[in-house]
Structure formats: structure tokens, C-alpha cells
A and B are shown apart, each in its own frame.
Chain A
């Protein structure tokens, strides 16, 4: 049940594009005792259907910018594969701490962001 609740809450945040995924990983490691790599894998899997639903709505409302989109996606795809192999090769404790540092930066940015 807690998994479904985490899913719904994170889905709402992801759908709004505020970074639900960044909260799924710590939620899983904290409340479900999941290992870091497993939590990351679950977050990736969970994001696929969730984002597909949200993306359909955004595409329908023409909110997606297509200029240069393929350049971002293609270079991103190559490095995403490389990054995944890096994650697999790292010690789980180190991976978790690195993730924590990254989360700290993203959190600071969310707070300091200026309203438009």
C-alpha cells in the first residue's frame, strides 16, 4: 500500500515536472529499506508509464518545444547508457552518498529559483 501511495504522490509531482523521481529514491530507501541501485532501477521503471501518461497530455496541449529536441535526446541516450554502467560499477553506499549530494544541489536550486 505504501508503494502505491508513494507512486501516486510522486506521479503528481512528476506530472507537474517538479522532479518526483528525486523523491521516489529516498522514499524507497527510507520507508521500504530498498537498496540504492534497486531504488534507482524501480524509479526508472516507474517513470516510464507515469511520464507516458503525462507526456500525452502535454503533447496534446502543444506544450512541448520541438526545436533541437533531437540533439538533446540523441546525445542524452548515449550518455545515459554509459551512466547506467557507471552506476552498476559503483559501491552502493558511495552511490547513495553521491545521490544525496546531487539531491542537496537540486533542493537548493528549487528553493532559490525566482518566481516568474
Chain B
């Protein structure tokens, strides 16, 4: 946390460029570790957290952070999925249908991405996420 704070306060000043560079590496590794844990345990949401980390700690601009997050999460998802598939019975029919929809949606989403102002989208999804969260927390087993 200390390392991260220093980077936020002094992106370039007071430190030699080499030191800042190595701190960025350390911050990147720490961010990767946190994203990895979330992706493994929850199997979702690591992308959103990755965007948050890239913007806050590595100071990436909004749209760059979103695109970079996908590049980070994809390999992590492959290994997490491999572990889960190896240990549990996956309904492959469901996976296939979801993925078919996902490919179409992913293509459309990336096309729309450049054109849409995301702030209202973020707020709408935030509300949906909270509603879903409350339902999941209070649902009886």
C-alpha cells in the first residue's frame, strides 16, 4: 500500500526515473496478484476491479484501462476455468449457448465502445449490480 501511495503522490517527481519504473513494476505485480485472487475465487468481476486498479494506481486513461483489462483477464480466466472444469461437472450445453450469445455481444460491445459515453451506463449497471448483490446475500440456501 505504501508503494502505491508514493506513486500516486509522486508520479515522476522526487525519484529517479529508474526508481519510479521499478515501483510501477511492483505496483503492477501487486495489482496482478489481487486481480488473480478475485478472478479465481469469484470467477467474475476481476475485470471491473482491474479497470479500477489500472485507473487508480497505474494512472491509465479510462478507455485504455478498459481495453487493457480484457488483455489481463483473458489469460487468468483460461487458467481459472481449467481448474474449475477439471474439478467440477460443467454443463457444456449451457456454456455453448452463453458463449454463442457472448461472441455476438462482445463484437457489438467493442464496436459501440468507441462511441458511447459510459458514465450513465456505469451508473445503471451499478444499480443493477447492487440489486443483484442484495438478492445474493440475503437469499436463503
Contact = CB atoms under 8 A, between A and B. Distances in A.
Interface of A: 3-27, 29-30, 32, 34, 37-55, 57-59, 61, 63-65, 67-69, 71-88, 90, 92-93, 95-104, 106-113, 115-116
Contacts of B88: 37-38, 41, 88
B79 to A, nearest CB: 5
Interface residues on chain B, size class: 35 or more
A63 B125 contact: no
Q: DSSP class of A's interface residues: helix, strand, loop or mixed?
A: helix
Contacts of A32: 94
A79 B32 contact: yes
A18 B65 CA distance: 11
A9 B45 contact: no
25 contacts: A7-B98, A8-B108, A10-B102, A10-B105, A11-B108, A13-B105, A22-B129, A25-B44, A45-B85, A45-B98, A45-B99, A48-B74, A69-B28, A69-B72, A71-B25, A73-B32, A74-B32, A76-B36, A99-B44, A100-B134, A102-B38, A102-B42, A103-B132, A109-B48, A110-B126
A45 B32 contact: no
Contacts of A42: 90-91, 94-95, 98
Contacts of B49: 106
